[in-house]
Structure 1
Amino acid sequence: MRFARALLPLALLVACSSEPRPRPPGVLFVSVEQQSAWVRNFNPLFAGAGARWPTRAGVYECMEIFSSAQGRWVPWLATGHTWSEDQLTLRFNVRDGVRWSDGKPFTADDVVFTFGLLKQHPALDAGGVWRFLTDVKAEAQGTVAFSFSRVYLPGFSDLAHQIIVPQHVWKDVADPVTFTNPEPVATGPFTQVTLFRNQVYELGRNPHYWQPGKPAVSALRFLAFPTNDQANMALVEGEVDWAGNFVPAVDRTFVSRNPAHHARWFPLYGSTVFLYPNTTRPPLDDVRVRKALSMALDRDRLVEVAMYGYTRPADATALNDAYTGWKDAEVAKDAWTHYDLDAANKLLDEAGLTRGADGMRRLKDGQPFALDLEVVSGWSDWVRAGQVVGRDLRKLGIGVTLKTYEFGTWFTRLQKGEFQLAISWSLDGPTPYNFYKWLLSPRTVRPVGEVAAANWHRMGDAQADELLMRFERAGTPEEQHALMSQVQQRFSATAPAIPLFPNPSWGESNSSRFTGFPTEQNPYARLAPHAEPDSLLVLTQLSPRER
């Protein structure tokens, strides 16, 4: 009863929303982002744009989709690809018959143009594709050829997952970096902005979508929920059909309310959640300090208190369960991710961060060792994680102040390196290559103040990078696994960031009105709407339930 009473005001808030009743038929209500108000931005190219979901996997599309749940590539705007014998040219076969949402034909020239934009505006090239490409050109019969400067096999996923934009629209955009793209012209299943207000927006179907009969859903609707609690109330009360929320005691509060239709699937395939230290700010540039912070964390308690036991503590490889076959079991045992307060204190002593008479650590200049820890306001699981981390670090004599920001402000500060400590996710891919590249490669380090797609901690390791570059050329699984084990050793030795836990791939569905959601028994994609581009696979499979 206490739970019901606590949520009653939110139920009234949902009931009093502007949503007309009865619900519009065929309109799928989705909860992905927690925002107090919507900003109309559908720019799919700039990582720092803060574009609305599903801009990158639902409005716009890529050439092929890697389904981690299936472990395979799914052809999309391209029907397939081939490598040249020397592995220096990759060709995609562009799908025939695709049209943009304004009716104009989609062609190989659009692909060439998109990659030209990335070259012309480096801020758009978040994956750094022009570090390994020398040319992109259209060939006969709808083929696009990518010429590589060196053998770089992981480049395939960067190219296959690149969002493609229409040349006839974007050629007239003065600044693609700042362009908010309020009326998107795209190839995806949902392209029509039929409603956009501060508290609600709606995307209608692409009238020219290339998959016959799809999407079966008539529109997507998004209500603005500033916090997890409000979003969860809407889910529990049946206002939301598909969500990617952290829900406390989800089986009791959501699934059990309607077991026939309420479902959740939380595999540990979400990116690993890290405590990121800004290594440009001493003493966080000292590996002894980073490892001391890590050893002060009671991760068993952290996952129980903050994550309701939905996950497990991270080990010294930091790999999530999607990479079980890649994990080096010996590296995983390394001690710096185990709770050991005595060892943590010893490391700080060795680093010259001595305790004062008040029990607080001092920097070498005599100033107190105090840190701000930044998380997203309203993300209740991460806020609790931040509180647990703060309490644990204070046992070392480190002052910690938890600061919460709305998502847009928090993410901007993270991307520009304008923080001391922050809790955030990591990047992933078909292999652990991308995960470790964005944690360890000097090639991914950006100056403070410049937007970084990842490597927010701004650290690179030359030895790890040499191994990663060898992995880029490795032609056999045996060689790839041997190299990745060595990369894991370098990660554990350097501790560039502090792994907390694998993030569950949060996904909840209410099949009362729609069918076709992925499940553990039918894992054609992850249920989590955050899992782009998996969300494209889901949006094109859902159908209104027949009445």
Structure 2
Amino acid sequence: MRRVLWLLPLLVLACNSEPRPRAPGVLFASVELRSAWVRNFNPLFTGANARWPTRAGIYECLEVYTPSTGQWNPWLATAHAWSDDRKTLRFTLREGVQWSDGRPFTADDVAYTFQLMKKHAALDAGGVWRFLSDVSAEGPQTVAFHFSHVYIPGFSELAHQPLVPRHIWEHVEDPVTFTNPDPVATGPFTEVRVFRNQVYELGRNPHYWQPGRPAVDALRFLAFPTNDQANLALVEGEVDWAGNFVPAVDRTFVSKDPQHHGKWFPLFGSTVFLYPNTTRPPLDDVRVRKALSMAIDRERLVDIAMYGYTRPADSTALNDSYTAWRDPEAASGTWVHHDEATANALLDAAGLTKGPDGVRRKADGTPLELEIEVVGGWSDWVRAGQVVARDLRKLGVQAHLKTYEFGAWYERLQKGEFQLSISWSLDGPTPYIFYKWLLSPRTVRPVGEVSAANWHRFGDAEADTLLSAFETETSPEKQRELMAAVQRRFSETAPAIPLFPNPSWGESNSRRFTGWPSASRPYARLSPHAEPDSLLVLTSLAPREN
């Protein structure tokens, strides 16, 4: 009944509204939840909060991988080849590509992008220079990546790196803080036509390399501070493309215009975790982490917070794009199952005993208080946090939910300045990236330093040995054996608490534009959050012919 009452205002408004007129060919998208826009189009620094679609729509990469097909798509590069010793990787660049100011795109731009990342370590969020020794242009159409050691997963990290023009960035005084207000790029949308606090608009690249594309004239973004406001605009027909959590989406959105309203929520999104800051006792104790995990009723969590759109995470934490990699033994771990009795026993064993008042206390006698941080306005995650806090309180833990505006929350997460936080995970063509940023000591950064992931600050030497072996292995069978062992090590150490695989949220309105991905046409994920899939979508859409 609470859900029905919550939806009534949205349905009433939607049924009494008509989409406002707009210029033809202008696509309205809802991707980021913000109360106001900051003009930032720097694609290199993950902490800079660049506007969408900076990294896959304004700027582009060499090749594009999409989990919905399991395929690599040639993009700014048309081919690649490894040397026999697997220590040099060469990409052949597409001919005829220009930057949006008309200058040619060459191998020198690619080499310069990576040299810039070497010079400014803050730009190398993925740490590619831990395995590169040099990047050089071998003529205008060939770029060579020289590896300091064999590192097979490096291919995806290099292929997906957004590339910047040397003739612009070599004059930038500080590329780390540069907001790049007027981007020069190779992507389909590069022209900033409008930029105000509440709205911005990107027009087509006048020199885009794909003939006749993009067919969309411009992308327009309105500032929606909360999910509810963004969903109302979607239901009313104001928004053409969104990556929103929409409660009861079939009833509130699809059924309003079944011919044009589409949604596709495959479980290809990153796994959502409750991250414990393992630098803060008692969260450094695996018994405590597993106890907190076993306190959570995930069946109830996905029903209440996620409206049944997903499933509880298993003990591998893998989403459904990695089904072929999942190890049955690792997936059978019981620490992700709801079991209050065992959870209480684990906390007792860890010395966090209950007092006469039912409150658990640490060794110094102070109550065990844990604050769960989440983004305010992300209604699904806020409800998830409420469910988790309630479950933890049943163990005698003083758990509280704290919401922050996205920027403040993300900064605290990246710097490790939290106790518990709900957030996403990283992924890639194989589970290697996913587990590396959960388990490898090489990804651990000091508290206070921005980290691309491993926000929980955990490293396990045994897992790292397995990951290191995976880095040099070319046999698919042996790769799976190694990754199965990594999964088992993840389940043993429980460095982070998996909640559920996040649906790859995607909603579309084909009343004005056609060509959307769907379950029956899975050329890319429908979610605009799924980068660099968004490049495939932006170059496939076309205005509907009346």
TM-score band, normalised by the shorter chain?
over 0.9
Kindly indicate whether the alpha-carbon contact (under 8 Å) linking 2:14 and 2:235 is maintained by their aligned counterparts in 1.
no
Structure-2 separation of matches of 1:438 and 1:3: 38
Counterpart Cα distance in 1 of 2:7 and 2:308: 22
CA distance in 2, matches of 1:490, 1:141: 45
Aligned to 1:84: 83
Structure 2 counterpart of 1:201, which letter? Y
Does residue 219 of the first structure (1) align with residue 218 of the second (2)?
yes
- Cross-structure match for 2:366: 367
Percent sequence identity is 74
1:322-358 deviations in whole A, cap 9, x for unaligned? 0000001111111100110010010101110111121
1:473 Cα deviation from its structure 2 partner: 0.9
1:4/1:87 CA distance change after superposition, 3 Å: closer
1:3 shift after superposition: 5.6
1:61 is matched with which residue?
60
Question: TM-score, normalization: structure 1?
Answer: 0.98
The aligned counterpart of 1:257 is 256
TM-score, normalised by the number of residues in structure 2: 0.98
Matched residue pairs, number? 543
**Counterpart for residue 410 of structure 2:** 411
Pair 1:7-2:6 in alignment: no
Q: Which residue of 2 aligns with 1:31?
A: 30
1:75-131 per-position Cα deviation (integer Å, ceiling 9, x unaligned): 111111000011110000111111111111111000010000110011111111100
SS at match of 1:397: coil
Residue 140 of structure 1 aligns to a residue whose secondary structure is coil
Determine if contact 1:316/1:334 at 8 Å carries over to the other structure: yes
Match of 1:437 in 2: 436
Alpha carbons of structure 1 residues 127 and 448: separation in structure 2 relative to 1, 3 Å: same
Contact 2:329 2:488 in 1 (8 A): no
Paired with 1:53 and 1:358, the residues of 2 have a C-alpha distance of 50
AA paired with 2:274? L
Partner of 1:317: 316
Q: In the TM superposition, what are the counterparts of 1:291-330 in structure 2 within 5 Å?
A: 291-330=290-329
Equivalent residue letter for 2:456: H
DSSP-derived class of the 2:289 partner: helix
- Residue 100 of structure 2: aligned partner: 101
Distance of 2:423 and 2:8 partners within structure 1: 32
C-alpha contact (below 8 Å) 2:11/2:252 kept by paired residues: no
Q: Decide whether aligned partners of structure 1 residues 162 and 266 sit closer, same or farther in structure 2, where only a CA change above 3 A counts.
A: same
Q: How far apart are the structure 2 equivalents of 1:475 and 1:283?
A: 40
| CA–CA separation in structure 2 for the residues paired with 1:368 and 1:174 | 50
- What residue in structure 2 maps to residue 118 of structure 1? 117
**CA 1:372 to 1:248, structure 2 compared with 1: closer, same or farther past 3 Å?**
same
The 8 Å contact of residues 107 and 140 in structure 2, kept in 1 or not, is answered as no
Counterpart-to-counterpart distance in 1, 2:247 and 2:391 = 23
Using the TM superposition, give the Cα deviation of residue 317 of structure 1 relative to its aligned residue in structure 2, in angstroms: 0.3
Superposition deviation, residue 140 in structure 1: 2.8
Alpha-carbon distance in structure 1 between the residues aligned to 2:111 and 2:489? 37
Matches within 5 A, 1:119-138: 119-138=118-137
CA contact (8 A) 2:227 2:378 kept: yes
Q: Hey, what does 1:451 align to over in structure 2?
A: 450
Letter in 2 for 1:7: L
Distance 1:532 1:538 in 2: 10
Deviations 1:391-433 (A, max 9, x none): 0000111111111111111111100111110000000000000
* Amino acid in the other structure paired with 1:408: G
CA contact (8 A) 2:106 2:140 kept: no
**C-alpha contact (below 8 Å) 2:508/2:516 kept by paired residues:** yes
Q: Is the 8 A contact 2:107 2:139 kept in 1?
A: no
Could you list the structure 1 runs, at least 4 aligned residues long, displaced by more than 2 angstroms after superposition: 1-5, 7-15
Instruction: State how far apart, in whole Å, the 2-side matches of 1:419 and 1:191 are.
Output: 37
**8 A Cα contact 2:267 2:503, kept in partner:** yes
Q: In the superposition, relative to structure 1, how do residues 174 and 287 fare at CA in structure 2: closer, same or farther (>3 Å)?
A: same
Q: Any unmatched runs of 5+ in structure 1?
A: none
1:217 is paired with a residue of what secondary structure? coil
Aligned residues of 1:10 and 1:230 also touching (Cα < 8 A): no
Q: Give the 3-state SS of the residue equivalent to 2:206 in structure 1.
A: coil
Residue 93 of structure 1 aligns to a residue whose secondary structure is strand
